[in-house]
Structure 1
Amino acid sequence: MYLNCHTYYSLRFGTFSEKELLSLAQENKVSRLVLTDINNTSAALNFVRKAPEFNVTPILGVDFRNGVDQCFIGIAKNNEGYLELNDFLSEYLHEEKKLPSNAPEFQNAYVVYPFEKVLLNEMLHFKENEFIGISIADLRKLPFSRIKGLKNKLVVQQPVTFRHKNDFNAHRLLRAIDKNVLLSKLDKTEEGNEDEKMYPIQNLAAAFSEYPFILENTERLLNTCSIYFDFSEKKESQNLRTYTGTKEEDNLMIERLCQEGLPYRYPDGGEGVLERLDKELGLIKKKGFVSYFLINCDIVSYARKQGFFYVGRGSGANSIVAYLLRITDVDPMELDLYFERFINLYRTNPPDFDIDFSHWDRPAMTQYIFKRFKNVALLGTYVTFKERGVVRELGKVFGLPKNEIDLLSEGKYDPSNLDEVTRLVLKYGRLIMGMPNYLSIHAGGILITEKPLHWFSATHLPPKGFPTTHFDMVIAEDVGLYKFDILGQRGLAKIKESLEIIGYNRPDSSSFDIHDVKKFKKDPRINNLIKTAQCMGCFYVESPAMRMLLKKLEVDNYLGLVAASSIIRPGVAKSGMMREYILRHREKGRTEKKAHPVMLNIMPDTYGVMVYQEDVIKVAHYFADLDLGEADVLRRGMSGKFRSREEFEKVRLKFIENCRKKGEPDSIIFEVWEQIASFAGYAFAKGHSASYAVESYQTLFLRAYYPLEYMVAVLNNGGGFYRTEFYVHEARMLGATIHPPCVNKSNNNNAIYGKSIYLGLGYLRELESRVAERILKERMKAGKFVSLEDFLDRVLISIEQVGILIRIDAFRFTGVNKHQLLWKAHLFLNKGTKFEHPKLFPAVHQNFKIPQLHTSELENAFTQLELLGFCLCSPFELLEEAPKNKNGSKDLKQYINGYIDIYGYLVTVKNTSTYTGKRMHFATLVDQQGTVFDTVLFPPVAAKYSFRGRGVYRFYGKVVSEFDFLSIEVVKMKKEDYIPDPRYADMRTSKKVFSGSKSPL
């Protein structure tokens, strides 16, 4: 009887989930109801999936509205009708058009016009599939309306939006947030009616007792509607079924491509290769995944033709078929990759292929996929109201001043000191916390389907310009839609640009193949970089945590790096198994003493420690006797997205039960379970880690042999883990001379000439991008600038903008002091003047007499700090009081277990908490010689001292060695003061003498 039900996917309008709607229906003895969210279909699939659990027959529809103005409701008679509704809605969402008052002619869907709309528009004629909706509130007006005579067209339309007063309050807050107004200013027309509730079915029938024909019409309509999606474990994949058009041709094609790939991948043959290939192909065909492989092959083949770099990873990297098709560059034979992680007879979903492209190339690849295949959409996701965001939004709704909102959102308040309004913000914030706020796009998921995408949901058109589903990856997999992951990654752009830079900066360098990773793996120069953790700028291995791990594990080879790539993930460290792995790696005999025999037998290469995702499957299968399908449910469940699902809970209980049957003590069972639970969702598949390690080796090769060119590419592609200035510093440490921006030598990005690096104009924070474009365009067209006057004649620019260039010394080629240049610029350009058109004839310049002016290196340093965000001299040169010692990283060894006094320029801080919630800090710094060192502030010290932004700090602390990795446990610290800015201070009062040193940073 309920044709118009909303969930909180009626964004910023509805107030509860689809499961809560079904629960409400069950409570009120409602056996059939229609989900009609406002211009949205996000809840539809899960509503259908969950409905049988509540003994409800689900029906799908859409509440078509312009804002809150209801046009009509569309109700699908069947799946074809749902497709029609989604086609219609998507057209209007894509084009952002206003919805019409009258519905189009649907073949398989009903239309219900609201009573008030019919009266207002004086509608007289209705198609066979069109009806008029009457709510309980409308019954008072019906007897006095001409509509009462249209007996066969009247149906019950009692909207369901709220359950109780709290829901209505939450609704009003959502509406105020949506309209960006104070709650007190929210127009009543923007709200729903508080009576939009579900009543027990007998109460609803009683309300309409005078009009039994309305109930009968409604019942008849509901009984002709049905919707079906297969959510069973044995469901068919809804992805594109065939690549060529037939399964037979697909099978022949994948066999041919694998045979063609054999001599390329295994020129000398290879033991067991053909046997493994036959096994994989047989299973891939049996499971119906051939088209999935061929589509991925098509994607990467196109990328290679375009010269795009890519990395194929995910569990698919465990496959020899993927290796032969060049989807991945990981040899599963070399690494003995566990095939069953990638695919097994019990597995219903295809393996994961995450294909990374350069962030420059990814848009072109996405465009290609949409053109190449017919039914394509990006996968959606939901952005929900989080605690801080809720407080900010409600703070505005309740009219709190910004400073109070800031304190509330950051949790910096004493509950006993809160006034009534701030208490309301916190109280009502709990009502909308976790609700979806708006639709967004999955990081890289693309769906390529057999049926039209609108069979499953409507699509909207985010700024990226590609149709995007209303549902997320979890429900997509439930219904048999498996995503293709096309991701953007800066690391690949760095490799690609490095090759371009090497081509012009070192054209005489010997040629090399960046894809010859087998050669790189044996290169002692590269392996020594890993062992000594000299990996700044290199993909996945440059962070302080990775640098620490590499040193502790003494990694000097590819296999060691593969393991480290997964061990570094959060869960392994959290479970305590990272430390145990290091101990077993370094201490002979510890493995045999500590490892459970079954675990050691399952994972001999990792000392009986779970390191990779497939270890979860192995342990579940061999240790707990779960079948491979159940083991994969366990692995997926650990991701968090599925952890609350019923199927995961069943498998967890079976894991424990099976182990007890085998006689394992609970202490061992739960220890193993905790290891699984703590890290499985964060660990990589071994093939995935191996893919990362391949890219790490490529970047390490470039750093080892072409360090300056590589650092320029790193800088030009947004850096990496650290701030820009540290890659500039690293380039200097590697032998580069760093120059500030120059109008004749700089590009928008950084430019390299031999060993000289000129910083890009793009680093100048206040320089307008259009001005930079004009400079580069003019330089390309008419050559270098010969003087400031020449520049001003040729480039349309304001005095403010040219002032930025002069202050950063971008005209130093003139040999004229920048203060004098500023005088000249002001004489040439009045403040605020901009030429409307380029000058037709060269200007005749007067020779103004300008006094002799001087600029100090110290002034330059502070100007660089202001305009670039960092200075090009050593920051230690800017200290008001010179360092009392020269202690640095090189001295730590002689202070082991003793105390050191040391100065460091802050690189990065990781703020974290202990298990008891106490704050502590890990900080990485650069010493006076330019070398990195690490410190830790344990809770007692962190309570007394904290880092206050970038700058130089002085530490006193104990030098400790853990597995030969040296760090300082800080006892005391102090931030050192810089001298007053000489541009504004009286230099005569400063005793600082600037040496102009180019050391460290």
Structure 2
Amino acid sequence: MFLNVHSYFSLRYGTMSIASLIAEAKSLGIKEIVLTDINNSSGCMPFIMKCREEGIRPLIGIEFRRGGLFLYLGIAKNKEGMKELNDFLSYYNLTEQELPDTPPLFEHAYVVYPFVRFGKTLQENEYIGVRPTEQNQLFGKDTIAIQNKLLALNAVTFSGKLQYRFHEYLRGIDLSTLLGKVTVADKCEKTEYFLPAEEIENLYANYLYLLENTSILLSSCCMDEYKFGDRNNKTIKTFTGSVSGDEDLLEKIALAGMVRRYGNENEQALVKIKAELKIVKEMSFCAYFLITWDVISYSRSVGFHHVGRGSGANSTIAYCLGITDVNPIELDLYFERFLNSKRSSPPDFDIDYSWDEREQVQQYLLRRYGAANTALLGTISTFQGRSVVREIGKVLGLPKTEIDSFTDPKKDKYNQDNPTFKKINALYKLMEGMPNQRSIHAGGILISEEPITYYTALDLPPKGMATVQWDMYVAEAIGLDKFDILSQRGIGHIKEATELIASNKKRYIDIHQVEAFLKDEQLNERLRSGDSIGCFYIESPAMRQLLKKLQCSDYRTLIAASSIIRPGVASSGMMRNYIYYFHHPEEVAYLHPVMKEQLAETYGVMVYQEDVIKVCYHYAGLDLADADVLRRAMSGKYRSSDAFAKLVNKFFEKAKETGRNEKTTEEVWRQISSFAGYSFSKAHSASFAIESYQSLFLKTYYPMEFMVAVLNNYGGFYQRWVYVHELKKTGAKVHLPCVNHSEAKVTIEQEDVYLGLVGIQGLEDYYIDRIPYERKLNGPFLNLTDFIKRMDINLEQGIILIKIGALRFTGFSKKELLWDIHNQLGIKALKKPITELFKLPPKQYQMPELLDEPLEDAYQELELLGYPLTMSMFDLLKTQYRGDILAKDLINHIGKTVKMVGLYVCEKTVRTKRNSKMWFGTFLDVQRDFFDTTHFPNNTPIYPFSGKGCYLILGKVVEDFGFPSIEIERFTKLPIRDNPFLV
């Protein structure tokens, strides 16, 4: 009898999860429920699955609202009816129109209007709902003609009085208003909770026909057509139109790719490909491989560079299809990590593109497979962390200072007796983890066999492409495989660098021919030295340190380094163990013979996700299916904490049954659990390592073009000035922006590099785009007057360009140009660009000599670029002191206290085991070499850094596996010279 049930997917309105509302209904003996969340169908599929588990008959629909106004309820008769409702809502979402007062005539869905629409002429499928509180309004009305069109409309939004109050807080948060200003119209009725059948009958005792009508309507609805379960794949089933056609095509292109990758006579490759093909065919994944191959083929045809990574790189077929550049045979990767007959969840390929090319690839998929069957994967953002406290505090009308005190964990113990804090804390526990808003998955795309609106309505987020209303976990449960089309800046670096090399050096690089890169001694030497600024994944201070500590000079070591740098391995101490045993393999003490057998390659240290499976299977005796579930739990791809806990218990029980020593098992488990979702699969690390080598190749042989590409793709780990500094080290002549040379982006011609207009702070987008366009259309600018006339520049924007030196081509100093532009524009800008029949020379004025000062130029560059280009930050210091030693000499001063001057690059904050903060700093010395510092809590103020600039550093030189750094004793920022413009 409950036609109108809201879950917490009625965002910031409903209070109950799918599981809790079903549990509540079951406890009251309720046999059927209609889930009708507000303007979405996010919870419908999980609702059907959970109801079937609990023996409740699930029915679904949507409550349609315009703003806060309840328009009507849509209840699906069957699967087709749900599609009608989803299509209807999707149309208005995707066209960004308001919902109409009356929906179209649905063939397979009912429409229930609120009682305020009583008297409306009703279609065959339309009804009027009567809430318990509205029955008295039937008195005196002529209902004979429409008696069979009246239903008992029992809404459910919350559970119990406490949750009603919770509902009010959610409404306050949704409306961004104070709790006291939430009106009756803004919230649900106080009776919107589940009641037992006998109480419902008592409520409608005078109008029992309402209940009878409702029962008849519900009995005509059925959701049995929805089928779920393992291997019930809903993804598009074929690529060619037939299963046999897919199998033949996949085998054909895989074998052709094998010849290209391995040659004609590689028996090992042939055996492996045949074995993989057998599993792929058995598990009906041919179409998935072919669609991914099709995406790669398309993107290559339009000149896009890609990286295929993730567990899919375990596949030799994927390697032969060009989906990845990781050679599984060379690295002894096993295909079963990606796909095996016991795997219950669908695997996927992660395909990375440049950040500015991904959307075109996504659009290709939408065109290729049709809008009806293709959509972006959604995600559900939840209320998390201290931001929840802030939301509640605002609704309560608390002052900012009080809210701040409640969000500071250090003050929790002082707030324990504060009644307001207690109230907020109770609400926080109810809200944490609840859905807050729908969003877009990082890159997932779904391609369904049947129209996707059978399963969800579609949203239109800012990205502008249709997006499903649920997340990857629901997609997986339904049986929809996702295609991950992702993006990263590193690929943008590689793509643009190859383009710049082609235009600037007339050389064309096939960046996918990585075999030669892996054997190149110059690349391996650069890797060993940690000289990798700008290179994907290996440029951070921590990674460069690790490369040096390992003396990493080959592909396999880099693969391991890419994984052990992850927090889970590092925090457990296993990273340090790995480095030590890497240098002293003879000292490895394996926990158990099984560990030696399975982990000899990584010196007994679990480095990869695959190692978890190996150890769980071979040491503890878990079967591969359980081992894989455990691995997925470690990587954050498994939801159920209860199921995870059961697997942990099973791990210990099975290990005991196998006769393993209890203490050894505890240590093995400690090492496994320390991964905690941070480790990579080996294939994933190998994919990253290949991209790192591609970057290393470009940085080593074409450093100028590579660094320009890094700048144009908005850098990586570091601030922009670090990459400009690195560019200058290549020998490039780096010029300030110039209106007669610069484009929006950084440009390079031979060794001359002009910074782009886009890097000038405060310069409007209009001028960033218009200046290069006008120059190309009508030639270089002749002088300031010509520039003003052609660009319609205003005074403020003109001053910015003059101060950065962008009009230095005129031959006049900045001060002369500033004088002139004020004389020409004053405080007014020209209304329209002037087109002259004849070019008239500008009037000449006799001015006093106005000279630019280098120090003043540096300050202006610091203001407008964020860094000085024509001067070093060291040159801005008041002191001439540059330290007693340089970074390159630190290794010769181990154990000594030294004094240095360093230019701040970045810092990293970490917490010690005692929960106090410490920091790691990275600096450049006066010769532009990097060095690192460690700031322990005892020797450090609350926050040691004071922003950009140079610091005087006193500390002890320490060494870790041959890598020197400084443990800070004293540390202060050095003052710089006064800006002459302000003196």
Q: TM-score range by the shorter chain?
A: over 0.9
Q: Which residue of structure 2 aligns with residue 11 of structure 1?
A: 11
Q: Would the aligned equivalents of 2:173 and 2:392 in 1 still touch at CA under 8 Å?
A: yes
Q: Which residue of structure 1 aligns with residue 435 of structure 2?
A: 436
Aligned-pair CA distance for 1:422: 7.6
Q: Distance in 1 between matches of 2:330 and 2:624?
A: 24
1:190 aligns with 2:189: no
Aligned-pair CA distance for 1:451: 1.6
Instruction: For residues 683-708 of structure 1, give each alpha carbon's deviation from its aligned partner in whole angstroms, at most 9, with x where no partner exists.
Output: 22211111111111111001001111
Q: Which residue of structure 1 aligns with residue 384 of structure 2?
A: 386
Instruction: Check 1:420–1:977 CA distance in 2 against 1; reply closer, same or farther (3 A cut).
Output: farther
Q: Which residue of structure 2 aligns with residue 735 of structure 1?
A: 731
Q: Distance in 1 between matches of 2:683 and 2:930?
A: 32
Q: Which residue of structure 2 aligns with residue 314 of structure 1?
A: 310
Q: Which residue of structure 2 aligns with residue 548 of structure 1?
A: 545
Matches within 5 A, 1:329-340: 329-340=325-336
Give the structure-2-normalised TM-score. Answer: 0.96
Q: Which residue of structure 1 aligns with residue 29 of structure 2?
A: 29
Q: Which residue of structure 1 aligns with residue 656 of structure 2?
A: 660
Instruction: Check 1:431–1:346 CA distance in 2 against 1; reply closer, same or farther (3 A cut).
Output: closer
1:911 aligns with 2:933: no
Q: Distance in 2 between matches of 1:904 and 1:850?
A: 43
Instruction: For residues 138-189 of structure 1, give each alpha carbon's deviation from its aligned partner in whole angstroms, at most 9, with x where no partner exists.
Output: 1232324334763322322111112233333333333333333333333432
2:549 aligns to what SS in structure 1? helix
Aligned-pair CA distance for 1:847: 1.3
Amino acid at match of 1:978: I
Q: Would the aligned equivalents of 1:18 and 1:47 in 2 still touch at CA under 8 Å?
A: yes
**2:573 equivalent among 552, 576, 582:** 576
Amino acid at match of 1:222: L
Q: Which residue of structure 1 aligns with residue 338 of structure 2?
A: 342
Q: Distance in 2 between matches of 1:101 and 1:779?
A: 54
Amino acid at match of 2:789: D
Instruction: Check 1:964–1:272 CA distance in 2 against 1; reply closer, same or farther (3 A cut).
Output: same
Q: Distance in 1 between matches of 2:97 and 2:631?
A: 44
Q: Which residue of structure 1 aligns with residue 586 of structure 2?
A: 589
Aligned-pair CA distance for 1:836: 1.6
Instruction: For residues 724-769 of structure 1, give each alpha carbon's deviation from its aligned partner in whole angstroms, at most 9, with x where no partner exists.
Output: 0000111112222322211122211112233232211111111111
Amino acid at match of 2:95: E
Q: Would the aligned equivalents of 1:936 and 1:969 in 2 still touch at CA under 8 Å?
A: yes
Aligned-pair CA distance for 1:530: 0.5
Q: Distance in 2 between matches of 1:148 and 1:921?
A: 79
2:155 aligns to what SS in structure 1? coil
Matches within 5 A, 1:399-418: 399-400=397-398, 409=407, 416=414
Q: Would the aligned equivalents of 2:591 and 2:664 in 1 still touch at CA under 8 Å?
A: no
1:594 aligns to what SS in structure 2? coil
Aligned-pair CA distance for 1:16: 2.2
Q: Distance in 2 between matches of 1:706 and 1:219?
A: 75
1:125 aligns with 2:122: yes
Aligned-pair CA distance for 1:829: 1.4
Q: Which moved more, 1:483-492 or 1:173-182?
A: 173-182
Runs of 5+ in structure 1 lacking a partner? 986-1001
Give the structure-1-normalised TM-score. Answer: 0.94
2:940 aligns to what SS in structure 1? helix
Matches within 5 A, 1:498-513: 498-507=497-506, 512-513=509-510
Amino acid at match of 2:925: D
Amino acid at match of 2:192: E
Q: Which moved more, 1:893-902 or 1:873-882?
A: 873-882
Aligned-pair CA distance for 1:615: 1.6
Q: Which residue of structure 2 aligns with residue 54 of structure 1?
A: 54
Amino acid at match of 2:544: R
Q: Which residue of structure 2 aligns with residue 715 of structure 1?
A: 711
2:80 aligns to what SS in structure 1? helix
Aligned-pair CA distance for 1:92: 1.6
Instruction: For residues 582-615 of structure 1, give each alpha carbon's deviation from its aligned partner in whole angstroms, at most 9, with x where no partner exists.
Output: 1211113222x23421012112211222211222
Instruction: Check 1:833–1:968 CA distance in 2 against 1; reply closer, same or farther (3 A cut).
Output: same
Q: Would the aligned equivalents of 1:344 and 1:628 in 2 still touch at CA under 8 Å?
A: no
Q: Distance in 1 between matches of 2:543 and 2:439?
A: 32
Instruction: For residues 551-578 of structure 1, give each alpha carbon's deviation from its aligned partner in whole angstroms, at most 9, with x where no partner exists.
Output: 1111100111111111112211122221
Q: Which residue of structure 1 aligns with residue 777 of structure 2?
A: 781
Q: Which residue of structure 2 aligns with residue 246 of structure 1?
A: 242
Q: Distance in 1 between matches of 2:551 and 2:38?
A: 58
Q: Distance in 1 between matches of 2:458 and 2:198?
A: 38
Q: Distance in 2 between matches of 1:19 and 1:627?
A: 30
Q: Would the aligned equivalents of 1:711 and 1:731 in 2 still touch at CA under 8 Å?
A: yes
1:518 aligns with 2:515: yes
1:211 aligns to what SS in structure 2? helix
Instruction: For residues 856-891 of structure 1, give each alpha carbon's deviation from its aligned partner in whole angstroms, at most 9, with x where no partner exists.
Output: 111111111111111122112222333363422112
1:851 aligns with 2:848: yes
Instruction: Check 1:748–1:126 CA distance in 2 against 1; reply closer, same or farther (3 A cut).
Output: closer
1:960 aligns with 2:958: yes
Amino acid at match of 1:255: E
Instruction: For residues 440-487 of structure 1, give each alpha carbon's deviation from its aligned partner in whole angstroms, at most 9, with x where no partner exists.
Output: 000000001112111111111112121111110012111211110000
1:376 aligns with 2:374: yes
Q: Which moved more, 1:68-77 or 1:311-320?
A: 68-77
Amino acid at match of 1:471: W
Matches within 5 A, 1:966-981: 966-981=964-979
**2:354 equivalent among 358, 367, 373:** 358
Q: Which moved more, 1:139-148 or 1:824-833?
A: 139-148
Q: Distance in 2 between matches of 1:39 and 1:595?
A: 56
Q: Which residue of structure 2 aligns with residue 993 of structure 1?
A: none
Q: Which residue of structure 2 aligns with residue 991 of structure 1?
A: none
Amino acid at match of 2:312: G
Q: Aligned residues: percent identity?
A: 45
Instruction: Check 1:132–1:442 CA distance in 2 against 1; reply closer, same or farther (3 A cut).
Output: same
Instruction: For residues 391-415 of structure 1, give each alpha carbon's deviation from its aligned partner in whole angstroms, at most 9, with x where no partner exists.
Output: 4434443445556656655668687
Aligned-pair CA distance for 1:628: 2.0
Aligned-pair CA distance for 1:793: 2.9
Q: Which moved more, 1:275-284 or 1:98-107?
A: 98-107
Q: Would the aligned equivalents of 2:895 and 2:956 in 1 still touch at CA under 8 Å?
A: yes
Q: Which residue of structure 1 aligns with residue 69 of structure 2?
A: 69
Instruction: For residues 303-358 of structure 1, give each alpha carbon's deviation from its aligned partner in whole angstroms, at most 9, with x where no partner exists.
Output: 11111100111111111111111111111111111221111111233432000111
**1:676 equivalent among 656, 672, 680:** 672
Aligned-pair CA distance for 1:621: 2.0
Instruction: For residues 59-101 of structure 1, give each alpha carbon's deviation from its aligned partner in whole angstroms, at most 9, with x where no partner exists.
Output: 1111111122111111122222212211111112212222233
Instruction: For residues 177-227 of structure 1, give each alpha carbon's deviation from its aligned partner in whole angstroms, at most 9, with x where no partner exists.
Output: 333333333343222222222222321222122333222222232233222
Q: Distance in 1 between matches of 2:535 and 2:63?
A: 52
Q: Which residue of structure 2 aligns with residue 20 of structure 1?
A: 20
Q: Distance in 2 between matches of 1:79 and 1:40?
A: 16
Q: Which residue of structure 2 aligns with residue 91 of structure 1?
A: 91
Aligned-pair CA distance for 1:521: 0.8
Aligned-pair CA distance for 1:638: 1.8
Q: Which moved more, 1:523-532 or 1:790-799?
A: 790-799
Q: Which residue of structure 1 aligns with residue 535 of structure 2?
A: 538
The total of aligned residue pairs comes to 978
Q: Which residue of structure 2 aligns with residue 491 of structure 1?
A: 490
Aligned-CA RMSD value: 2.2
Instruction: Check 1:590–1:49 CA distance in 2 against 1; reply closer, same or farther (3 A cut).
Output: farther
Q: Which residue of structure 2 aligns with residue 107 of structure 1?
A: 107
Instruction: For residues 637-657 of structure 1, give each alpha carbon's deviation from its aligned partner in whole angstroms, at most 9, with x where no partner exists.
Output: 223342525544443332222
Q: Distance in 2 between matches of 1:125 and 1:726?
A: 70
Q: Would the aligned equivalents of 1:919 and 1:943 in 2 still touch at CA under 8 Å?
A: no
Runs of 5+ in structure 2 lacking a partner? none
Amino acid at match of 1:572: V
Aligned-pair CA distance for 1:897: 1.3
Q: Which moved more, 1:846-855 or 1:441-450?
A: 846-855
Q: Which residue of structure 2 aligns with residue 291 of structure 1?
A: 287
Q: Distance in 2 between matches of 1:550 and 1:634?
A: 31
Q: Which residue of structure 2 aligns with residue 724 of structure 1?
A: 720
Aligned-pair CA distance for 1:288: 0.8
Q: Would the aligned equivalents of 2:890 and 2:964 in 1 still touch at CA under 8 Å?
A: yes
Instruction: For residues 35-69 of structure 1, give each alpha carbon's deviation from its aligned partner in whole angstroms, at most 9, with x where no partner exists.
Output: 11001111112112222443322211111111221
Q: Would the aligned equivalents of 2:347 and 2:481 in 1 still touch at CA under 8 Å?
A: no
Matches within 5 A, 1:126-205: 126-127=123-124, 129-147=125-143, 150-205=146-201
Amino acid at match of 1:435: M
Amino acid at match of 1:565: S
